[in-house]
Structure 1
Amino acid sequence: MSADDPDEPPWGLFTIIVTASFMALLDTSIVNVALPTLSRDLGANPTHEQWIVAGYSLSFALALAAAGRASDVYGRKRMYVIGIGGFGLVSLLCGLSPTPAMLIAMRLVQGVFGAVLIPTVSGFIQQLFTGPPRSRAFGYLGMVVGVSTAVGPVLGGFLVSALPDYLGWRSIFFINVPIAAVIVPLALRRLPQDRREDRQNLRLDVPGILLVSVITVAVMLPFVLATSMARVSDAPWWLIVVALVGIVLFVLWERREDSAGRSVIAPGELVRTQSYVYGTVIGMFYFLGFAGFFLSLALYLQAGLGLPAWQAGLIQMPFAVSSAAAAARAGHWVNTWGRRLVTTSLAGVLLGFASVDLMTNLHPDSVNPWLLAALLLVTGGFSGAVITPNVALTLEEVPVSRSSTAAALQQTMGRIGATISITAMTLAFYASLPAVARQGGHAGGIENATYSGAFSMSLHVTEVCFLVAFTIAVLDGRRRRLQQA
């Protein structure tokens, strides 16, 4: 079987590599629904909660550029095995954590291994598939993302509800261990080695990686720290200036090294690839609006409405199921509709979240779970037709030899967006609550309408970000039509 033969796409190998995405994303979605139980058992406060969720995204984004580059330089197979093995081991340590501080530390390490793992998936798809099968592979990858998101809240809710508090939340990390134990030997035996000629002219570009890391931390850290401060203004917002300086230095360094013919992580040919630039920015704003939604929804359903974890998970499930189904088909649709598919889907997602916001405001004292589930079902279908088609369109003109680096830079922007989203939506949620709730009092004595208002406030972040992503997608669609004219 040839990886270059579009008539014989290696779907068996695809199954092995996408397991990485399933495991990493399952862990993220499970944590959200288990957060209230975890907090009670460990005595965690809202600041701990935020670091448990956002800390993973912070370290993930920090390590992505280096991990993606290492995959292109040292080989995707090697980095995949390191990533999935390390992820499984650290998941075990997360589950054994006796304190919030240790759990936060392990989540930071887990994010690093997630960063090592994930860029190899897109890189392998670029390497093993060509033509329409590549688009289908990205579509199936999106389906796996949706399935992991669907299974996560339900499985997490079941485990948390069925097991004692001290064991229920720990089991959400333990389930990664057998998955890693099965996949590591399979990957060692079956995944192909990178062709040496694809790697011979590449180098790590350590200064470029360090500058990207500084920029990433400087952008994300103020948002991560904001809710732990007495006032939002006390957060180190001056780091944004550091990020801007870092961007200037990064651009100057990359241009100088690229002009001298040396290998860099952001070569001119990549930056000048408009499909890559537009798609990366669209993805960043998408995750800015999307990533924090399910955390604020979980807080609203459990802390505000007092629903058990399993019921909160079931309400979220329709979104993920329809997202998975749409993503599987979107790999076929994108070949026909191109950027129009992403633009239309973004409009649908924006309308869906606005409808949830409207329902929350019209019925602040109680929410019909069936209506909420129905709205999430429709919204999830549109969401599934955004993520993987956008990835396919973003990477379609990127050379295979740079695919992991390009995917890592793209995902770094997405992780920055995700972390800011989680922080901004959590901040908007808790800032709208009385002090007793912000200090961990949650539902005790506080009216449901108060939590409805907090949830609605967090949704405003989503709506603004999706509007920006939709606008950029429209501009890219117009650019593509002019090119084809």
Structure 2
Amino acid sequence: MTKTPETPASAQPDPSTPGPDAERQKWQAFAVCVGVAALTILDLSKVNVGLPSIEASLGAGPTALQLIVAGYALAFGLSLVPSGRLGDLKSRRLMFVIGLSAFTVASLLCALAPSIELLVAARILQGVAAGIQMPQVLGLIQQLFQGRERGRAFGFFGAIIGVSTAFGPTLGGLLIAVGGPEDGWRLLFWMNIPLGLVAIVFAVKLLPKATTAPSGHNELDLFGIVLLGLTIFTLMLPFVLTTGQGDDPLRWLFLIGFVAFGSAFVWWEQRYKARGKSPVVHFSLFSLASYRNGTLIATVYFCALPATFLLTTLYLQQGLGLEPVYAGMVTIPFALTSAVAAFYGGRLVDRYGRSLVVLGLVLVAVGFVALLLAAVLTPRDLTPYAMGVGMLIAGTGGGFVISPNQTLTLAEVPVEMGGVAGSMGQVGQRAGTAIGTAAAVSTFYSVIAGAGGAAAADLDVYHEAYRNGFFVVIALIVVALVLGLLDLRARKTGRVASYTTD
């Protein structure tokens, strides 16, 4: 009887290393996640270019137009944390499919809306659905990838998000050109429906079923979720209602509610955890310098970025009289350079860390200053091209901000908390979107309202409006840069904290 020789230990397959099939399935699941994230983020930027068309088609006023943009962000922010928590505890795949299905249905309602009131309602529903699915994307990336490979994954993720954010206005302009100035805006929502249906099929087939929730921590703090929702709502609502045209000053009283509900939420969460239960938000996450500082930087950065695109779109269409498709094209350089920079940023972040983010913020600041100077100083015929140069510089910096910062922010977060940690960061970004958009756009419109009827014929009025609104944007980028420098200094001096469950 012949004895079969044993395989040397060195030749044995490593069970901890995924095989080719597992590796392929992991990246296929990742492709589904980033595809849906791109679809979600597109709706934050492509709709901006459709606002003049919606205004003409449905007779929308400034408040309604603000709600279409910032109301989406408000609803997005309200649903993020409870959805992230449910995904962590139960099933990220299930929550992903629920959110994507609701997003597709809401897009259909937006496309068919016969009045501005119904469009705003459907848009808010769409924001809720986006908030359900987005934290699952971040949680799944945390779950699927580890170590250096996670940086690579977030590099791809950042590239896709950068392209989606910056290419949205161009895509929106093309769709309006195809559909016509009266009802072309409806195509902005019709495009989501076939893409959403296809994505649902692939999500069910490819996303992992397993959850990473530890045993014994599967309860849901419903009262804490309500308090957090009221906190977010009362923070964001006064900014959502800020248009710069006859706003009710009493709206700022909602911030009193923000302080009251926020204090009650912190008290309740600490009491809930002291009873041995798992709270909605583990405040110990904020003991991580990487998570805390990265979340702050992203929040302030996203105060500035969506406001930049909206201000630029309004200026090009209303001030220079460009068609939506041409106004949207000005952002293409930002889309292309941010995608390339984000791809390489994901690979370089392990080597350069926070320094890469600081470099990115410096480039964004330089690009935005160039963008402002191009808008107000160049001859009218050359202005869009000169603004494109500013967008190119800013996009290069933006690519070094988004994906490296995301990698650094979540690097030390336990995988089982990936969804809720990512959703808290997204809450900051959506709150930042509402606050930054309100501050910049209300400044823009207040100048035009102060000029009265002269604004329609006087480009100098739009120069002043764009300049004043853009001062807000540049100030926010400077704040983000200061935060990045402070974090870089803390890392160099070793003043960082490790995660603790205490």
Q: Does 1:357 align with 2:392?
A: no
Code of the residue aligned with 2:415 in structure 1: it is V
Contact 1:83 1:113 in 2 (8 A): yes
243, 261, 266: which is aligned to 1:227?
243
CA contact (8 A) 1:157 1:310 kept: yes
User: Cα offset for 1:15?
Assistant: 0.6
Q: Which residue of 1 aligns with 2:89?
A: 73
Aligned partners of 1:30 and 1:199: how far apart in 2?
42
1:424 aligned onto 2:435 = no
Residue 409 of structure 2 is matched in structure 1 by 394
TM-score by length of 2: 0.91
Q: What is the CA distance between 1:198 and its match in structure 2?
A: 3.5
Q: Are 1:27 and 2:38 counterparts? A: no
Superposed displacement of residue 6, structure 1? 7.3
In 2: Cα distance, 1:385 partner to 1:480 partner: 18
Question: Residue 270 of structure 1 aligns with which residue?
Answer: 285
Query: Which residue pairs with 1:172 in the alignment?
Result: 188
Q: Which moved more, 1:260-269 or 1:415-424?
A: 260-269
Please list every run of 5 or more consecutive structure 1 residues that lacks an aligned counterpart in the other structure. Answer: none
Residues 57-456 of structure 1 aligned to structure 2 (within 5 Å): 57-195=73-211, 198=214, 200-227=216-243, 230-231=246-247, 234-363=249-378, 368-434=383-449, 444=456, 446-456=457-467
Q: CA deviation at 1:358?
A: 2.8
Shift of 1:466: 1.1
Aligned equivalents of 2:113 and 2:89: distance in 1? 35
* Residues 1:473 and 2:484 are matched in the alignment: yes
Q: Is the 8 A contact 1:136 1:331 kept in 2?
A: yes
2:215 and 2:207 mapped to 1: Cα distance? Answer: 17
| Contact 1:304–1:442 (8 Å) recurs in 2 | no
User: Contact 2:231 / 2:262 at 8 angstroms: preserved in 1?
Assistant: yes
1:360 Cα deviation after fit: 3.1
How far the C-alpha of 1:328 sits from its partner, in A, is 1.2
Q: How far is the alpha carbon of 1:387 from its aligned partner?
A: 1.1
Structure 1 residues 104 and 124: CA distance shift in structure 2, 3 A: same
The CA deviation at 1:107 is: 0.5
Q: Which amino acid aligns with 2:489?
A: R
The answer on 1:54 being equivalent to 2:65 is: no
Distance 1:64 1:197, change over 3 A: closer
Q: In the alignment, what sits opposite 1:464?
A: 475
Contact 1:364 1:449 in 2 (8 A): no
- Provide Cα deviations, 1:226-278, integer angstroms capped at 9, x if missing partner: 2276246x242122122122222222222222233210122243121221111
Alpha-carbon offset, residue 69 of structure 1: 1.1
> Does structure 2 retain, via aligned residues, the 8 Å contact 1:258–1:268?
no
Residue deviations 1:422-467 (CA, integer Å, cap 9, x gap): 1111101000113576xxx7963x2111111101111111111111
Give deviations 1:399-431, integer Å, cap 9, x for gaps: 111110011111101110111111111101000
Counterpart code for 1:334: V
Deviation at 1:5, TM superposition (A): 4.0
Distance, in Å, in 2 between the alignment partners of 1:72 and 1:110 is 22
CA RMSD between the two structures:
2.2
Deviation digits for residues 70-95 of structure 1, max 9, x if unmatched? 11122100000001111111101101
Greater alpha carbon shift after TM alignment, 419-428 vs 350-359: 350-359
Kindly tell me: are residues 318 and 118 of structure 1, through their superposed partners in 2, closer, same or farther at Cα, counting changes over 3 Å? same
Does the residue aligned with 1:433 lie in a helix, a strand or coil? Answer: helix
Deviations 1:100-147 (A, max 9, x none): 111000000000000001001110000000111111111101111122
The amino acid of 1:421's aligned partner reads: G
CA distances 1:178-232 after superposition (whole Å, capped 9, x unpaired) = 1111111211122111236546513222222222211111111111112276246
Equivalent residue, structure 1, for 2:5: none
Aligned AA for 1:148?
S
Structure 2 contact 245–449 (Cα < 8 Å) conserved: no
Task: Please tell me the residue identity of whatever aligns with 2:469.
Answer: S
- Local SS of the residue matching 1:236: helix
Does the 8 Å contact 1:72/1:199 carry over to 2? Answer: no
Contact 1:73 1:199 in 2 (8 A): no
Against the structure 1 CA distance between its residues 231 and 192, is the aligned structure 2 distance closer, same or farther, given a 3 Å change threshold? Answer: closer
Gaps of 5+ in 2: 1-12, 497-502
Amino acid at match of 1:143: A
Query: Which range is displaced more, 210-219 or 263-272?
Result: 263-272
Q: Is the 8 A contact 1:429 1:455 kept in 2?
A: yes
Distance in 2 (CA, whole Å) between partners of 1:38 and 1:2 is 58
Greater Cα radius of gyration, structure 1 or 2: 2
1:3/1:129 contact within 8 Å kept: no
* Amino acid in structure 1 at the alignment position of 2:348: W
Tell me which amino acid in the other structure corresponds to 1:52.
Answer: I
Question: Could you tell me how far apart the structure 2 residues matched to 1:103 and 1:285 are?
Answer: 29
> Quick one: distance in 2 between partners of 1:463 and 1:171?
33
Q: Percent identity?
A: 37
Give the whole-Å Cα distance in 2 for the aligned partners of 1:70 and 1:341.
34
The whole-number CA distance in structure 2 between the counterparts of 1:39 and 1:16 is 34
What is the CA–CA distance in structure 1 between the aligned matches of 2:122 and 2:470, rounded to whole Å? 30
Q: Give the TM-score of the pair, scaled to structure 1.
A: 0.94
CA distance, structure 2, for counterparts of residue 12 and residue 91 of structure 1: 25
Q: Residue type matched to 1:454 in 2? A: A
Q: Secondary structure at the match of 2:276?
A: coil
